[in-house]
Amino acid sequence: MAMYMASCAPAAQTVSTDLEIIEAGTGIIVIYELYIWQTSDVGDAQEEILSIQWITAYTTSGSGGQTTVVAPNNSFDAASTAVVELFNTTLATVGTPIVRYIGGWNVRAPYEKIWQPETRPVLRNGERGVFRLPAPADALTIGACIVFEQL
């Protein structure tokens, strides 16, 4: 069992974006936590609620985002074979997508999703998982971090 984190510095987002994770090797990924926050809209008048969807079964990756460094939580662990792309502005496509989770994020507070053991999203080798955010009403400077185990 090895735990990994992938995160990015906040960047301006104005369109729908994907946070993609794919197990590119022969392992399995179990997602433990997802954190999303913004640093630009802090007043009552700018408050909005964005939906967050967890989608699987896309076969084509999106693009335009940041390929993120995946760091092991323990420096003795091997490098991860997972590929994580944050804030792809060209969304993942192709396949028969399955929406497995929909939640809401009030942008005035960080979105912190910590799954219970029985409900953690799991990806087998070659499977792509996408957290999709809709376009905000105005530009938001958004950051993200995902914590996962690789088996």
Q: What domains appear along the chain, each with residue ranges and CATH number? A: 2-150 (2.60.120)
Asked if 88 and 64 touch (Cβ cutoff 8 Å), the reply is: yes
Which one is predicted more confidently, 133 or 45? 133
User: Closest Cα partner for 16 from 65, 59, 70?
Assistant: 65
Share of the chain above pLDDT 90, in %: 63
Mean of pLDDT values over 101-124:
94
Paired tokens of 87 = 């804030």
**Tens-digit pLDDT profile for residues 36-89:** 999 887 766 678 999 999 999 888 888 887 778 899 999 899 999 999 998 888
pLDDT tens-digit map of 17-38: 999 999 888 889 999 999 999 9
Residue 83 CB neighbours (<10 A):
17
Determine the longest span between alpha carbons in the chain, in angstroms: 48
pLDDT value at 113 more than 80: yes
CA distance 70 to 62: 18
